[in-house]
Amino acid sequence: LTKVDKLSKNEVNRQIDLISNQLLKESFDQPILFSAKTGQGRKELWKKINEIV
């Protein structure tokens, strides 16, 4: 998820629930929350990218 810095904590949690439920149907991992503005999730995103590559 991008632009998480623009969402309230409740909105973030709601989006995580919605997306996670859909991803579980497709057997994907949990979404990575990311904000270029605050740097939130940068390490997690790069870790996942390195795992895939």
CB atoms within 10 A of CB 4: 20
> How many domains, in total, are found in the chain?
1
Return the ∠ at Cα 31 (arms to 29 and 33), rounded to 5°: 150
In the prediction, which pLDDT does 7 show?
86
pLDDT in tens, 6-52: 889 999 899 888 888 877 666 567 778 899 889 999 999 999 888 87
Tokens of 9: 């904590």
Of 10, 36, 37, the residue nearest 46 (C-alpha): 36
In the prediction, which pLDDT does 41 show?
92
Cα gap 42→26, rounded to integer Å? 24
User: Which amino acid does the sequence have at 48?
Assistant: K
Full residue range of the structural domain in which residue 48 is found: 4-52
Q: Is the pTM of the predicted complex or chain greater than 0.85? A: no
Q: Is the pLDDT of residue 1 over 80?
A: no
